[in-house]
Structure formats: C-alpha cells, structure tokens
Structure 1
Amino acid sequence: MLNERSLAAHQDCKDCPIRHKAVCARCESDELERLEEIKYYRRFEAGQTVVWSGDRMDFVGSVVSGIATLTQTMEDGRTQMVGLLLPSDFVGRPGRSTAAYDVVATTDLVMCCFRKSPFEDMMGRTPHIAQRLLEMTLDELDAAREWMLVLGRKTAREKIASLISIIARRDASLHMRTSDGPLAFDLPLTREAMADYLGLTLETVSRQISALKKDGVIHLEGKRHVTIPDMDRLMEEAGDDADGGMLV
C-alpha cells in the first residue's frame, strides 16, 4: 500500500508505476496533461467495497497498487468470484452507467480514477486511449476464456499452479522483468481467497501449495513470499505451454 508521501509522488503521470501498462500507456504528453485535469486518487482498505453491483458509477480508473476481486451475487445469496483486478487493470466501462459486479479490495488498494463523463469525451477525441482500452478489453476476454478452462477442467494442482503463474507473470510484466531466471514476488491473496476464487477448499489449497513447494516447483518464505526457480516448469504444472498462459 502506498503511504501518503509516495502516493503524492505518483500524482504525476510520468512517474506512475503502472504507466507502461495502464490505459494511458500510449498517450502523448499533451494527452497526459488533459488526463491530469480529470484524475484523482482513491485508497481503499482491505475488505472495503469499491462499488456494489448495480450502483451508479461516476468514475472509471486503474488499479495502481494492491488487488481487488470482481464478485457476482446470485438470487439465493451465493457469491462467486469471477475475476481479479491487479495493478494496471481497468475498473468500469465507458458508456455504461452502473457497475456489473461487486468490486472489493482484497488488499489495501490505490486507484487512479477519472471522472467518467470527461473520460468518455476524451475517448472520442483521443485514439490512443480508445485503442489501448480496446486492447485491454480483448486481453481480459482472452483471460476469461482461459479461466473457464481452469475452473472447469483442470485438477486442483493445475489450478493452483495456474493462479500462481498468472500473478507471477503479471508482476514480472509490471516491473519489466523477464522470466528467463527465477521470479520472486509476494502473493497478494490469502489461501482463503485463493480457495474461494478457485472453487476449492482451504485444506486443498494448502495441501497443493505444500506439494508444489516439496517438489521444488516453488520456494516459499512464510506464507506469501514466493520464488519460482523455473517458470517453464510451473507452466507445465499448470497444464499450459511454456510460451502460453492466460494473462500477459
């Protein structure tokens, strides 16, 4: 979570830690200046709801740090986690007035938000924003299709390996690291959250993580700090090709 001092430092788009991956990635300096005029930052504590499904949304924005979940509630009260929002992911849909899902901060969360109407106006006048948002939307669609495979056909071990690989590759991409050598990162989800997302029991998640650790597929320090010695091997455990995967 960014503290007040570091959050203030990221007020300038040029210094933003997600600049190269966010919706503004292709913007020129004059376009960034226009975005600066309509943006603001919001922070949420872990467990806090960003927006409820069906609520009116007067903003759109990108996750700067932290992680959030997209959740759908059924008529009988059951809920299903349908997606994760990681740094640089976009929240909200231009042209749609209400939220389609509950968005809840899983960890402490910082979002770079844009007032919705001015942002929609900018999209019409700024092809760079519209093009980047289209690319991100298509990436999200590909990820959703692949996730259907994870939930429907993969074994518990493959599901855990798939989720770890998604987070590892996104973290590497955000920090512009290659996957040629070991990758180290802090797992942003608790095992309870992983179980909820994957449709597994907590005991199964813990058992499979321990098995991956025992087999040397991952190294684990504490409960959250993960090192992947060989990304290709992890992808094989996930049931994917080494150069494939669900989310880039």
Structure 2
Amino acid sequence: MKIAELTGDKPDSKNCDECPIRREAICSRCQPDELDLLDKIKVYRTYQKGETITYMGDEISHVGTLVTGIASMSQVMEDGRRQIMGILLPSDFVGRPGRSIAQYEIVAASEIIMCRFEIKAFETLLANSPTLGPRLLEMAMDELDAARDWMLLLGRKSAREKIATLIHTIALKSRSLLEINIDCDFQFTLPLTREEIADYLGLTIETVSRQLSALRQDNIITIQGQRQITVKDFGHLMNETGNDYSGNVLP
C-alpha cells in the first residue's frame, strides 16, 4: 500500500516535468516554451510550520504554488478575532495577479515548499501565455466553489460531517497528486494535529477526538498513531460529509 504524503522533499528545480504537482498546478497545461519561461522566474522557498507566508494588508510581491505542505487562509478583525477562510493544499495557487494588496493572512500549518514567482514578471508572462490565463480562471472558479463549501462546513455541518469533510478533502487531494484511483484502503498522513483541526473547524479538541474515534468504530477509517489515516471506503466516507455525489447537501 502506498502512503500519500502532502509533505516531501524539495523537487528538482531544473525539471518541471518531475514536479509532484505538475499535473494539478497552474502550469499543468503549459507548453515546453512556456515552462522554460516560468523556469527562468521561479524560486523555491521553504516556510517552517507557523511562519506567515502573507500578511493581510501587505503589498503583494510574489505569487506562487504550494508544492508540499498545508497552509491556512484567514482574516483578522481589528479586535484580534480571527476567522479561518479555508485551507491550502499542494497545487493550490497563492496570490492574486492584478491585485496589489493581500486580502488574507496565509500561515504555514506544516513545513511548506512553495514555487514562487515575482508578481510583475508573472503578470507579464500571464498576459502573453495562451494557457496560463484560462488555467488561472479555472482554478479561481474551483477556489470559489471551495469557499462556498467552507461556508457550508462552518455554518451548517455537524461535528461528524466537518471531520469527515476535512478527511475526504485531504484524501482526495493526496490521491489525485499520486495519480491513482482507488476507492478503498487508501492510506495517507494527516498533516494537521488535532488541536489544529479543532481550530480550523471551530470545534474543541475533545470533539475532534470523539468524532475521529466514532468514524474508526464505524469502520469508515482506521487510525495508526496520531496522523496515519486509512480510508476504508471513499463512498462511505463521502456519505458522512453530508453531501451527495453531485455536491449538493443531503436533506
């Protein structure tokens, strides 16, 4: 059984074709000449867990793609209250071409490797590329769908549905990056502690532990140690998210 990881070694910076997120990232449809141009302006940077990638209100100097790791995206109110707006996983795009000020704070929830581009150079390439623009639009639409799903998760879902949704989301991303299609006994490493899961989902640590145990007792997942998760059946897990297979909320 292959174990999926959302963290890993630094990719080969000289060969985009061997990048672990090549199939899912903004460059997924680029032709060889476009990849050569991207290669000239890209820089890999590692962020440690807890390090801020982008501060809300700061000028945007770079955009880029998460290669490994996981990050949180949040907004902070004047009195210090924080609302998690979503999570970012490998292949997700960070930053807004055409916008000068960051609207969100992005913090590394694990060690992260990011493929970064200086924003002006990227915007120039974006304006002249036949593939980057359409792919960025497609990813923006996916991000909009994800934001709506996150609103539903925080506002309407039960604790069990929240935990199931998070596990399902991370498992699907891990499976997609590995380019495999299995529906049972898929094992991956959860890149978040239970405390972090509780913070992201608006739950207590005790509730997170209870719901993980309940999913395990119902033979939907198995847990080894603190973070090694095996999805016994994707269809069964999907049913626990509160959504049907078309993405609608079950009554």
Q: Specify if TM > 0.5.
A: yes
* Structure 2: distance between partners of 1:11 and 1:242: 40
Instruction: Tell me: CA distance 1:183–1:244, structure 2 relative to 1, closer, same or farther (3 Å).
Output: farther
Matched, 1:59 2:70: no
CA, structure 1 residues 138+206, in 2 after alignment: closer, same or farther (shift >3 Å)? same
In structure 1, what is the equivalent of residue 193 of structure 2? Answer: 190
Give the SS at the match of 2:166: helix
CA contact (8 A) 1:68 1:85 kept: yes
* Deviation sequence 1:48-76 (CA, Å, 0-9, x none): 11111111121100000011111111111
Partner of 2:3: none
Matched, 1:235 2:208: no
Number of residue pairs the alignment of both structures matches: 243
Matched, 1:143 2:152: no
2:108 is aligned, of 94, 105, 116, to 105
Extract unaligned runs of 5+ from structure 1.
Answer: none
Report the AA paired with residue 184 of structure 1: Q
Within 5 Å, give how 1:33-52 maps onto structure 2.
Answer: 33-52=36-55
Which residue type is aligned with residue 154 of structure 1? K
Q: 1 CA distance for matches of 2:122 and 2:196? A: 33
- How far apart, in 2, do the equivalents of 1:81 and 1:180 lie? 30
Give the structure 1 partner of residue 207 of structure 2: 204
RMSD over aligned Cα atoms: 1.5
> What amino acid does structure 2 have at the position aligned with 1:129?
L
Matching residue within 12, 31, 34 for 1:31: 34
Conservation of the 8 A alpha-carbon contact between 2:66 and 2:93? yes
Please give the alpha-carbon distance, in whole angstroms, between the structure 2 residues aligned to 1:60 and 1:243. Answer: 32
Q: Tell whether 2:7 aligns with 1:17.
A: no
1:78 to 81, 92, 99: 81
Specify the alignment match of 2:169 in structure 1: 166
Does the CA-based 8 Å contact 2:183-2:235 persist in structure 1?
Answer: no
Provide the secondary structure at the position in 2 that maps to 1:138. helix
Preserved CA contact (<8 Å) 1:182 1:229: yes
Question: Does the 8 Å contact 2:85/2:150 carry over to 1?
Answer: no
Identity of aligned residues (%): 51
Which residue in 2 is equivalent to 1:89?
Answer: 92
Alignment partners' CA distance in 2, 1:59 and 1:117: 8
Q: Contact 1:231 / 1:242 at 8 angstroms: preserved in 2?
A: no
Whether the aligned pair in 2 keeps the contact of 1:235 and 1:245 (CA below 8 Å) is: no
TM-score normalised to structure 1 length: 0.94
